[in-house]
C-alpha cells in the first residue's frame, strides 16, 4: 500500500505514499542562494525512494528569515539565482519523484540575533524564556498585500526552475499561522477577529499562488490541526479552514500541529499545559501525533491529506492509509540519518529508529533540572541542532555522525549561525 501512486486533484501523480517532510536546512549562502550542499542533500533523498520531497522554509522576505541559511526568493530571480534553483530542482527530482518548495515567512518566531525587529499579525511577543525573541510590529495592509505578491513570485520562480509543486507553510507558529491564531492575531481590521478574517491572508496567498502557477501545478498547504494552546487555533477552526482550502483548489493539505511555545510537532513538552482537543482517539494515534485529527477531517472533506509527526513503524503507516486517516505519510527526523528510509519501508522494513530517544544534554543524575522551563527549552533546541548537524554533514560530506553529542551539535550550529549573520552584515 505504501507504494501505491496517488493522483492529485490537479492531475499530477505522486509515485507512492511516502513523503520526506519539510525540515529547515540552513544550507543556503548568506544571501539566500541554493548551494552545492543543498543539491547533494536532496540528491541523496531523491535516490531514497520517497514519492515526494518537501523542502525546508523558502523565505519570501530576506529581512524576515526563519533561520540563518534559508533559501530566499523575494523578487524575480536573476540569472544566477535561477540557475541555482534549477540545479537544486534537477538534483531533487532525479529519482523520478516530486520536489515541492515550502514557501514561508518566520514572522515573530525568529530569534533576536537573526531579526531584532520581526513583523507579525499583531504585537504579541512569543512567550518563551530567556528573552530570545523580540516583540513584533503588526503588518500594515500594504505590507500584507506585498507579501501575498511575494508568495506568488516565489511559487512561479520555483515552477520555472523545475520544482514540481509548492507548499504554503501555514503551520507551526510561523507568520500565516500567527494570523490564524486568536492568541497572536488581535487585529481589528479585515484580517482579524472572526475565523473568516483570520484565514483571509492564507486564502489570498493560495489564490495568488494558483494564479501564478496555473491549474495543473500542485499547490499544497501545511496547516495545524491545532496549536494545542488555550485560546489558540483549535481543531474546529482547522476543519473549517480545510474546507475553504478545498474550495480554493488546493491539491494536498499536510496536517501537523503546535508552535515553538507548544512544540507538539516534535513530540516535546511545551511551556504550558497542552490544551486538549475534542477528537476521538484511535490505536493509530499511539504512534503518530496527528492521525486522529486527519481521520476526523477526512470524514468531512475529499482533499488528499498528508500526516507528518511520530511515524516509526510500517504497521502504523499502513494502518493510517487503510483507515483513511492519511493519503500520504510524512517522514522527517528518520530521514536525517536513513536517507533511503522510504525505499526500505516499501521493501518490508518494519521499524524505523527513534534517534531522538538518544539525545539529552542533561545527564540522568541531574534529572531534576529537566523540570525547569528554561532547561526544557535549551534541551529541546539542542536536540533539534543534532538533527541539523546531520543535514549539514549529508550536504557537505555525504555522511552522518550518529555519535556526536547534542551539546557539541548545538555549539556547531550556533557557530555557523554567527558566521552566516556576520557575512550578511558585512
What is the tens place of the pLDDT at every residue in 161-213?
Answer: 999 999 999 998 899 999 999 989 999 999 999 999 999 999 999 999 999 99
**CATH code of 209's domain:** 3.20.20.70
What is the domain range of residue 273? 6-352
Using H for helix, E for strand and C for coil, what is the string for 62-75?
A: CCCCCCCCCEECCC
pLDDT of 372: 52
DSSP letter string over 319-378?
Answer: HHHHTTS-SEEEE-GGGGT-TTHHHHHHTT--B---GGGG--SS-GGGGGGGGSHHHHHH
Of 56, 47, 6, nearest to 338 by C-alpha is 47
Q: Is residue 411 assigned to a domain?
A: no
Q: Is residue 371 assigned to a domain?
A: no
What is the tens place of the pLDDT at every residue in 259-313?
Answer: 554 444 444 444 444 444 444 444 444 556 678 788 888 888 899 999 988 899 9
Q: Is residue 414 assigned to a domain?
A: no
CB 25 within 8 A of CB 72: no
pLDDT of 219: 98
pLDDT of 229: 55
The 3-state DSSP composition of the chain as helix, strand, coil percent (nearest 5) reads 40, 15, 45
CB 42 within 8 A of CB 92: yes
Average pLDDT over residues 77-92: 98
Q: Is residue 358 assigned to a domain?
A: no
Q: Is residue 267 assigned to a domain?
A: yes
Average pLDDT taken over every residue of the chain:
87
CB 323 within 8 A of CB 281: no
Q: Is residue 290 assigned to a domain?
A: yes
Model confidence at 51, pLDDT cuts 50, 70, 90, reads very high
Average pLDDT over residues 387-398: 96
pLDDT of 268: 43
The interaxial angle of helices 200-213 and 235-247, nearest 10 deg, is 30
- The domain total for the chain is 1
For residue 88, the SS3 value is helix
160 CA to centre of own chain: 22
Q: Is residue 63 assigned to a domain?
A: yes
Model confidence at 370, pLDDT cuts 50, 70, 90, reads low
Lowest mean pLDDT among 222-231, 238-247, 316-325, 331-340: 222-231
- The Cα angle at residue 217 between residues 214 and 223, in degrees rounded to 5: 105
Average pLDDT over residues 222-243: 78
pLDDT of 426: 75
Of 103, 139, 147, nearest to 120 by C-alpha is 139
Higher pLDDT, 323 or 230: 323
For residue 13, the SS3 value is strand
Q: Is residue 126 assigned to a domain?
A: yes
CB 320 within 8 A of CB 7: no
- The Cα angle at residue 205 between residues 251 and 309, in degrees rounded to 5: 55
Phi, psi angles (nearest 5°) of residue 189: -100, -160
Of 37, 138, 152, nearest to 88 by C-alpha is 37
- The whole-model pTM stands at 0.89
Amino acid at each position: 500500500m505504501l507504494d501505491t501512486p496517488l493522483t492529485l486533484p490537479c492531475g499530477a501523480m505522486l509515485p507512492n505514499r511516502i513523503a520526506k517532510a519539510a525540515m529547515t536546512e540552513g544550507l543556503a549562502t548568506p544571501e539566500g542562494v541554493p548551494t552545492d550542499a543543498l543539491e547533494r542533500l536532496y540528491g541523496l533523498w531523491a535516490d531514497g525512494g520517497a514519492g515526494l520531497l518537501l523542502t525546508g522554509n523558502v523565505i519570501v522576505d530576506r529581512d524576515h528569515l526563519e533561520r540563518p541559511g534559508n533559501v530566499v526568493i523575494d523578487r524575480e530571480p536573476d540569472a544566477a539565482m535561477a540557475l541555482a534553483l534549477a540545479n537544486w530542482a534537477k538534483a531533487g527530482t532525479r529519482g523520478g519523484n516530486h520536489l515541492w518548495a515550502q514557501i514561508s515567512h518566520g514572522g515573530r518566531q525568529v530569534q533576536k540575533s537573526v531579526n531584532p525587529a520581526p513583523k507579525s499579525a499583531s504585537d504579541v511577543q512569543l512567550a518563551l524564556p530567556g528573552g530570545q525573541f523580540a516583540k513584533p510590529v503588526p503588518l500594515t495592509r500594504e505590507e500584507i498585500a506585498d507579501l501575498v505578491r511575494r508568495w506568488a513570485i516565489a511559487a512561479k520562480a520555483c515552477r520555472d526552475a523545475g520544482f514540481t509543486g509548492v507548499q504554503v507553510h501555514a503551520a507551526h507558529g510561523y507568520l500565516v499561522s500567527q494570523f490564524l491564531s486568536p492568541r497572536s492575531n488581535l487585529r481589528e481590521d479585515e484580517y482579524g477577529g472572526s475565523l473568516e478574517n483570520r484565514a483571509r491572508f492564507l486564502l489570498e496567498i493560495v489564490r495568488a499562488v494558483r494564479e501564478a502557477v496555473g491549474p495543473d501545478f500542485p499547490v499544497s498547504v501545511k496547516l495545524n490541526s491545532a496549536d494545542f494552546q488555550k485560546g489558540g487555533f483549535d481543531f474546529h477552526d482547522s476543519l473549517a479552514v480545510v474546507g475553504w482550502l478545498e474550495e480554493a483548489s488546493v491539491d494536498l493539505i499536510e496536517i501537523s500541529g503546535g508552535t515553538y511555545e507548544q512544540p507538539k510537532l516534535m513530540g516535546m513538552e511545551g511551556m504550558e499545559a497542552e490544551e486538549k482537543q475534542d477528537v476521538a482517539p484511535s490505536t493509530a494515534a499511539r504512534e503518530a501525533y496527528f492521525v486522529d485529527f486527519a481521520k476526523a477531517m477526512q470524514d468531512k472533506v475529499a482533499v488528499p491529506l498528508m500526516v507528518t509527526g511520530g511515524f516509526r513503524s510500517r504497521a502504523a503507516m499502513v494502518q493510517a492509509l487503510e483507515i483513511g486517516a492519511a493519503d500520504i505519510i510524512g517522514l522527517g527526523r528518520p530521514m536525517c540519518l536513513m536517507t533511503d528510509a522510504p525505499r526500505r519501508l516499501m521493501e518490508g522494513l518494519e521499524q524505523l529508529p527513534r534517534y531522538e530517544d538518544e539525545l539529552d544534554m542533561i545527564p540522568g543524575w541531574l534529572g531534576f533540572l529537566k523540570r525547569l522551563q528554561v532547561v526544557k527549552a535549551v534541551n529541546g533546541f539542542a536536540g533539534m541542532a543534532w538533527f541539523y548537524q546531520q543535514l549539514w554533514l549529508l550536504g557537505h560530506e555525504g555522511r552522518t555522525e550518529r555519535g556526536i553529542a547534542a551539546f557539541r551539535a548545538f555549539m556547531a550550529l550556533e557557530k555557523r549561525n554567527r558566521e552566516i549573520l556576520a557575512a550578511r552584515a558585512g
